[in-house]
Amino acid sequence: MPVPAVYDVCCVRILCLLFVCSISLLAQRGRGGGEQPVIPTGPPKNLKILPADVNIQQTMGAFRTALGVQCAYCHVAGDFASDDNPKKNMARNMLRIAADINATFPDGKRHVTCYTCHRGEAKPKMEPPAAGAAPKPAGPPEP
């Protein structure tokens, strides 16, 4: 029994759709959706602001979310303890500032985080969104 032409056309459309979907997934690798950063093993080194018992993976994840960046934005690739990237010292300064601000609240809770100003972008937001612009959804709380 011969296969109807409609069936052939349907199969071709499905194959084309699968091809387009696979191409779009491959394209995601170039937008940061691909390779994951190398996570150092062992206890963190060269901590100057964060406490020694900090959950470093959770904390760094919160920083990445708050600034919308990857590890190499503040760290030297392959040497997370290095201070050669000036953005790492800027991050330390900003952590001190946020801690100083939070210390002024009588309830002892954290009211200011990196996300408070950065809103998921590397450069802090200095102005409110334009009138009629949709606000960015709130990010996860920082540790």
* Same domain assignment for residues 31 and 43: no
Residue 13 has pLDDT above 90, yes or no: no
* Same domain assignment for residues 25 and 44: no
* Same domain assignment for residues 143 and 92: yes
* Same domain assignment for residues 21 and 51: no
Categorize the per-residue pLDDT at 30 as very low, low, confident or very high, splitting at 50, 70 and 90. Answer: very low
* Same domain assignment for residues 55 and 91: yes
DSSP annotation of 2 reads P
Six token digits for residue 2? 């011969």
Q: What is the CATH number of the domain that holds 71?
A: 1.10.468.10
Six token digits for residue 38? 């190398």
What does pTM read for this prediction?
Answer: 0.64
* Buried b / exposed e along 16-36 (16+ C-beta atoms within 10 A): eeeeeeeeeeeeeeeeeeeee
Instruction: Give the range of the structural domain holding residue 140, as residue numbers without chain letter.
Output: 39-143
* Same domain assignment for residues 4 and 60: no
* Same domain assignment for residues 43 and 76: yes
* Same domain assignment for residues 19 and 87: no
Distance (Å, whole) CA 143 – CA 139: 12
Mean pLDDT of 4-27: 59
Asked if 70 contacts 64 with a C-beta cutoff of 8 angstroms, the reply is: yes
Asked if 140 contacts 91 with a C-beta cutoff of 8 angstroms, the reply is: no
Six token digits for residue 71? 């590890």
User: pLDDT tens digits for 81-135?
Assistant: 999 999 999 999 999 999 999 999 999 999 999 999 999 999 998 888 788 776 6
Six token digits for residue 75? 């760290």
The amino acid present at 77, given as its one-letter code, is A
Asked if 73 contacts 90 with a C-beta cutoff of 8 angstroms, the reply is: no
Looking at residue 7, its pLDDT comes to 58
Mean pLDDT of 17-21: 58
DSSP annotation of 79 reads B
Categorize the per-residue pLDDT at 31 as very low, low, confident or very high, splitting at 50, 70 and 90. Answer: very low
* Same domain assignment for residues 12 and 76: no
- Rounded to the nearest 10°, the torsion over CA 112, 102, 89, 114 is -10
* Same domain assignment for residues 71 and 9: no
Categorize the per-residue pLDDT at 39 as very low, low, confident or very high, splitting at 50, 70 and 90. Answer: confident
* Same domain assignment for residues 24 and 48: no
User: pLDDT tens digits for 50-72?
Assistant: 999 999 999 999 999 999 999 99
Give the chain's domain count: 2
Looking at residue 127, its pLDDT comes to 84
* Same domain assignment for residues 24 and 55: no
